[in-house]
A and B are shown apart, each in its own frame.
Chain A
Amino acid sequence: MAEPPSKDPAAAWRDLVAQWEKNLNELANRTMGSDEFSKAINQAMGLSAGMQSSLSEAMGRYLASLNLPSRAEMAGIGERLHAIEERLDRVLTLLQSPADAAKPGGAAATSKPPRTKRPPDRGEKP
Chain B
Amino acid sequence: MTATGGADLLESRIRAEVERAIQRNIKGLEYFGSPAPVLGSTPKDLLCKRGTLNLYHYRPVADELYRVPLLMVMATTNRGYIFDLAPGQSLVEFLLKQGYDVYLIDWSPPRPDEKRLRLEDYTLDFLPDCVRRVQEDAGEEEVTILGYCMGGVLSVIYAALHPQGPMKNLVCFTTPIDWRHMGLFTKWAHRDFFDVDRLVDALGNVPSEFIFTSFELLRPATRSAGQLKLWENMWNDEFVKSHRMFERWSTDTLPLPGEYFRQIIKELMWRNALFGNELTLGGRRADLGNIRAPVLHAVAEHDHIVPYDAAKPLVERAGSTDKQELVFKGGHVSVVAGGNAVKRLWPRLDAWLGERSI
Contact = CB atoms under 8 A, between A and B. Distances in A.
A21 B222 contact: yes
Nearest to B324: A126
B138 interface: yes
Given A17-B225, A25-B222, A117-B64, A42 B194 contact: yes
Given A112-B60, A126-B351, A75 B113 contact: yes
Interface residues of B, number: 56
Contact of B62 (A52, A109, A117): A117
Given A14-B232, A126-B348, A115 B193 contact: no
Interface stretch (B149-157, B161-169, B170-178, B197-205): B197-205
B13 A8 contact: yes
B208 to A, nearest CB: 15
B229 to A, nearest CB: 6
A115 B357 CA distance: 10
Interface residues of A, number: 52
Contacts of A76: 113
Contacts of A116: 64-65, 67
Given A35-B193, A38-B190, A79-B113, A115 B140 contact: yes
B354 interface: yes
Contacts of A107: 136-137
24 contacts: A10-B20, A10-B232, A18-B225, A20-B225, A21-B225, A25-B222, A28-B217, A29-B218, A46-B198, A46-B199, A49-B198, A49-B199, A53-B201, A82-B51, A86-B50, A108-B137, A108-B138, A112-B60, A115-B64, A117-B64, A117-B65, A117-B66, A117-B67, A119-B66
Interface of B: 10, 13, 17, 20, 49-51, 60, 62-67, 99, 101, 111-113, 136-140, 184, 187-188, 190, 192-195, 198-199, 201-203, 210, 217-222, 224-225, 228-229, 232, 348, 351-352, 354-355, 357-358
